[in-house]
Every structure is written in C-alpha cells, then in structure tokens.
C-alpha cells in the first residue's frame, strides 16, 4: 500500500473534501484525525492506493454526528 484516501462531507452523495495519508506501507494499524469539522453529520469513505497507482473501490460510507 502506498496511501489512504479519505473522502468526507456533509452530503453522503457528494463527499467534496479529501485528505491523503501517504507512506502507509508496513503499518499494522492506521488512524487519522479529521479536525475542524462544524456541527452536523459528516460522512466518510476510505480508499487504498497501491504503489502501482491502483485504487480500491470506496468503502461503504460511515457517519459521525458532531
């Protein structure tokens, strides 16, 4: 694995923000804090990209209410 791509937003059908977590090869576990979220319900998906640039399908969305 090369990186994780976390997409998120307040509309589960339009996750308009994203962050890439690079250099994840060899990690047994990974965590990432998405900061400065306003009040409301936020939806998140994650994808994995390998060293050849192949991207997995997005995970099923999960939500968190702030």
| 1 has a pLDDT exceeding 80 | no
How far apart CA 55 and CA 51 sit, in angstroms, is 10
Nearby residues of 61 by Cβ (< 8 Å), 6 or more positions away: 12, 15, 43, 44, 45
Nearby residues of 32 by Cβ (< 8 Å), 6 or more positions away: 4, 6, 19, 21
Q: What is the pLDDT of residue 30?
A: 75
Q: What is the pLDDT of residue 50?
A: 87
Q: What is the pLDDT of residue 40?
A: 98
pLDDT tens per residue, range 3-59: 899 999 999 999 999 999 887 777 677 788 999 999 999 999 999 998 898 999 999
Domains of the chain: 3-65 (2.60.40)
């Amino acid at each position: 694995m090369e990186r994780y791509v976390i997409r998120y937003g307040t509309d589960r059908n339009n996750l308009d923000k994203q962050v890439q977590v690079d250099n994840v090869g060899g990690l047994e576990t990974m965590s990432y804090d998405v900061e400065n979220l306003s009040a409301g319900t936020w939806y998140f998906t994650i994808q994995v990209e390998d060293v050849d640039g192949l991207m997995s399908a997005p995970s099923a969305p999960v939500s968190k209410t702030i």
